[in-house]
Chain A
Amino acid sequence: MSDTLLEVDDLRVTFPTRTGLVQAVRGVSFSLGRERLGIVGESGSGKSQTGRAIMGLTPPQAEVSAKKLAFDGIDLLSISPRQRRSLRGNRIAMILQDPKYSLDPVMTIGRQIVETLRTHEKVSKAEARERALAMLQAVQIRDPARVFDLYPHEVSGGMGQRAMIAMMLVTGPELMIADEPTSALDVTVQLDVLKILDKLVAERGMGLIFISHDLRLVSSFCDRVVVMYAGKVVEQIKASELRDAQHPYTRGLLNCMPRIGFERHPLPVLDRKPEWAA
């Protein structure tokens, strides 16, 4: 299958702790084409560690194993760190949650974007600047030349996250991992950022992994949803069929949110069953 961009089979991430080994990810399998895949779960469900393992950002003390972890036919677990670096930020990119922490505070936004570009491509300084400005324009920053010279603390959260998206897209990656890209933003700004992300992903035909705790948001944004609980995938479902979700955990997650116009007192809560984690 040439359409498959990413194949994950039986991915495990194990952390050594004082009380023994802890498996944060316990046998996750899925495959991704040029589509939008959502990974949903609560904190501690292993969704972020799954994204980080694909990106190659697992902390050094942890161990990653898988029957197969392949990006475009390249076995990610057997290639050298050098080859991995050349993929990271180039063909696979990642957007992190909070622009306040994920952008370098002592470097202007423009320099950070140019740095990303020049790390992976041989381009002149002038051309890199041109492309960075064009990218800032593409994420709908009104005055790219001004924002180019600003430091991250001088822009708002929404603007910072757009700059982050610009930085990640400037190399034209084929796979984008977005780890809670809008959770730190206001609801109104959230939608703007999602709209930009949606448009760019569609235009460029990228594969997207959208990691979030917000099932409703993910289902409105993605084509397919993987629901994780305690390091395992409990359900994979088409976003359009989420209403017919089978697993009680997925149904519980959908139900427990207060919704405007639906009076339910008290709110239904999750009745966690030990067999879900088995």
Chain B
Amino acid sequence: MTAAIAIQGLEVVFDRFRALKGVSLEVREGESYGLVGESGSGKSTLLKAITGLAPVASGTITVNGKTLGRTRDKAFYREVQMVFQDPYGSLHPRQTVDRLLQEPLAIHGISDGEKRIGRALDEVGLGKGFRFRYAHQLSGGQRQRVAIARALILEPSILLLDEPTSALDASVQAEVLNLLEEVRRRRKLTFLMVSHDLAIITHMCERLMVMQNGEAVETLTASQLIGHRVSEDYTRNLLRASEGFVRTA
């Protein structure tokens, strides 16, 4: 058994508010795992707790066999990278794409930067022509591609994706989802992906966890969800909602 990410009884507390109330989950190596729930359910907090951006009160997080302490070392960030929801907010507005991609390389003291930047840009389908542009000169989809390139440039084995397409148009969303699937296949990555959209999660992930109010509601495989074989009412509600508006005459 190899678990890329194993979480046991994770609690996150902001002041007196318990954002995560003892959540456990296990993501296998090479698996794509989804977290679904409405806003405030704690799904993003879970990702932040893994990367060390949220105050963990108790519980353990194990990544690639190593149990994490209070701080994360550089080696951790070479294994785990994150792509955020809003590409308008997650890229520095006064840095060129080149400078943005240099940053992680400089932090980790990687010397073949030139080659890696070219390769990363090719991989996300942008090409070298975008290298010296600023974020404001790019469309939303192109920005999210830059954010993905920045995450990939350290060649991590795990990508944490926090609503990577919810700020994008449907047509651009399809392109970015295809790109993510393609890099996962090529690099044999493990995905832990957050979305409020059940359709996206069933499209991208093999297994998923439904969350509500900081707790796990249930864990399902994508095919169970597609076949409506769910046991909790909350999940059933989400499923119904994702089918769209139905007029009750």
Contact = CB atoms under 8 A, between A and B. Distances in A.
Interface of A: 42-43, 157, 186-191, 194-195, 198, 213-217, 220-221, 252-253, 256-261, 263-270
Contacts of A216: 244
Given A188-B241, A216-B244, A265-B181, A260 B169 contact: no
Interface in B159-198: 169-175, 177-178, 181-182, 196-198
A253 B171 contact: yes
Contact of B239 (A189, A259, A260): A260
Q: How large is the interface on B (under 10, 10 to 19, 20 to 34, 35 or more residues)?
A: 35 or more
Given A258-B202, A260-B202, A266-B181, A253 B244 contact: no
B199 A260 contact: yes
Interface of B: 38-39, 140, 169-175, 177-178, 181-182, 196-200, 202-204, 225-226, 237-248
Chain B interface SS verdict (over half) = helix
Contacts of A256: 170-171, 173-174
B38 A259 contact: no
Given A43-B169, A266-B178, A220 B238 contact: no
Q: Which 6 A-B pairs have the closest CB atoms?
A: A258-B203, A256-B174, A266-B178, A186-B38, A267-B174, A187-B241
Given A261-B226, A269-B175, A270-B171, A220 B39 contact: no
Nearest to A259: B199
A260 B174 contact: no
A257 B246 contact: no
A70 to B, nearest CB: 30
Given A253-B171, A258-B177, A267 B245 contact: no
B169 A257 contact: no
B196 A267 contact: no
Given A187-B238, A194-B245, A217-B244, A252 B171 contact: yes
A257 B245 contact: no
Contacts of A213: 169-170
A220 B245 contact: yes
A40 to B, nearest CB: 10
A220 B246 contact: yes
